[in-house]
Chain A
Amino acid sequence: MSPPARLSDPGTRWEVDDPERLATAIRLRAVRMVAAQGFGYLGQALSCAEQVAALFAVARPGTDRIVCSPGHYVIAFYAAGAEVGLIGAHALDSYGHDGSALEAIGTERSPLFDYVAGSLGQGLSAAAGLALSDRLRGRAVRTFALLSDGELEEGQVWEAAMFAAHHRLSSLTVLVDANNSQVDGPVDTITTIEPVAAKWASFGWEPVELDGHDVHAVSQALVRAKDVSRPVALICRTSTAHGLDCLPPDADGHFIKLPPELAAAAVAELTARLGGAHA
């Protein structure tokens, strides 16, 4: 089975019964994907698991567009894709390996996305372009774009934010994974990006600030955004360690090391949370 090139491709189908469980399943699969190499972008999966689960629950299969601006986050989408049956176990196991189409940082080969950017800060421009195309063609399609808070340091994000608001691209909804993590450390120690919600508001967007680990709140906010006449930005407050208690407190959120013993503990913890049925 080869995964769909885009979740928006006509005929693509999936169902999500329990978004909360999906978020935990994303974490478990991400742990296994990273454990194979002993390190990787696990922190991103841990911080965005509820947002990705909510996206899979709310986006209309075969219609709505998904943009993943930070290419390091593909791990969570692949885990979700596998969980809902769009990516086979064999393909998922190849994540990050030589010759795999599931590269660890998103590329043009990456399945599922309407756009994924490896060079950060570029996804919102693409999302705006996709939404603009849909409007030019009279297509009733929503575009969801996941951004990270570190990316907000890139000027292009704000060029795109102004553009989308000026052109009233109300079919566009952004999730900002505000995990306060970037390569050099916590975002707030590198550059003060707050007040994030006020920035989006001042750029003409409707900001919604919420607990990014409350999957029902994120899902509801995604649904409500449809009826807002402006583009909406959900500022999802999250942590790169959420939902995995066994991680040491000093784990590097951008690139977590996961030696075998820690990986085994993580698998055990998450398997237990899923009720043991997933082992």
Chain B
Amino acid sequence: MREPPYQTEQKPYGRALVELARRRDDVLCLSGDLTRQCEVDLFQDAFPDRFIHAGMAEANMIGVAAALARCGHIPFVHTFGVFATRRPLDQIINAVAYPRLPVRIVGFMPGVSSPGGPSHQAIDDVALMRGIPGMTVIDIADAVQARQVCAAIVDLPGPVYLRLKRGEIPLIFDNDHRLALDRADVLTSGGEVALFASGMMLAPSLAAAAVLADHRIGVAVVHVPVVKPLDDATVAAVSAACQVVLTAENHLVTGGLGSAVAEVLAEAGLGRPLRRIGLRDTFAEGAGTAPYLFGKYGLSTGSIVESAWRALGRPGQAPAAGVTDARPGEYSPV
């Protein structure tokens, strides 16, 4: 693992999709009028004949992609997460998921990473997709995983929803990290707190674990790149070995990772106190910057530290979480 502030890179996903398409004739790319924003301008340049402009028409885009998949192509469909999941929900359910077609729906700009307000903030996309039978739901953490994710999902059976940060993508894992879709990754060990994090909440979770370690609180940070199907066994095993369980997701605490972990704990009969970090039954708001929103809506390193401190019943004020300053081109969680 690298240390914050993290270096970043641009378009790791876009490059990976081009690389995959060089090896795989069956890969097609559809875009809903957000081509550069979804990094697939690279695909359009490399394979113009296999790039399809669907325009601002998500319902049709999903229907066309479903038919292409039915014919044996592997369509990767791109737009922002809000538009990818909310607008064509019935189409995803009936035309893609019910026939179990290998459409790869890629939704950029998760949660409050967009300061663009509720219309552009995908705070419910994981819940919507997780509720669909047979849908794989992926929320990866960094550029090292983004480089690998296209090859990792291309041959998964059935549909996939992939949630991706837009813009500068941090490098959190070392270059030799291997993205595995069949298991959650236990990154640190500790006997007090089991902390399950997905996507953009991995960075603040690691930072929170470091703060808590300084106060002799051991945190097992587990990155969960695949929210569905969840690695139940790892969730149960790590939780059983800890006193309290935390989840951290850039999403509502309902319907996503927090709910999924709660289901595992309950079904396994593990009576661990659970605290879920995420948006709590609220829409966010438009703002100038994403870090402001991560702070305001409780998605900060400090919020995680505070939750762990309270869940463990520690007295007094939770330790402060120092923020690592990031220069331009670097990334640090708030």
Contact = CB atoms under 8 A, between A and B. Distances in A.
Contacts of A125: 59-60, 62-64, 66-67, 91, 95
B52 A156 contact: no
Q: What's the dominant secondary structure at chain B's contact region?
A: helix
B60 A118 contact: no
B217 interface: no
A3 interface: no
Contacts of A137: 71
A160 interface: yes
A7 to B, nearest CB: 15
Given A129-B65, A130-B67, A118 B94 contact: yes
Contacts of B71: 129-130, 133-134, 137
B95 A122 contact: yes
Contacts of A126: 63-64, 66-67, 70, 95
Chain A contact surface mostly: helix
B94 A132 contact: no
A47 B14 CA distance: 49
B319 interface: no
Contact of A128 (B28, B60, B72): B60
B63 A160 contact: yes
A159 interface: yes
Nearest to B28: A136
B128 interface: no
B133 interface: no
A102 B28 CA distance: 33
Interface in A137-165: 137, 155-156, 159-160, 162-163
A178 interface: no
> Which of A119, A126, A132, A166: most chain B CB closer than 10 A?
A126
A77 interface: no
Nearest to A160: B60
B67 A162 contact: no
Given A125-B62, A133-B72, A160-B57, 6 more contacts: A118-B94, A125-B95, A129-B67, A129-B71, A132-B67, A136-B73
Interface of B: 28, 49-50, 52, 54-55, 57, 59-60, 62-68, 70-73, 90-91, 94-95, 98-99
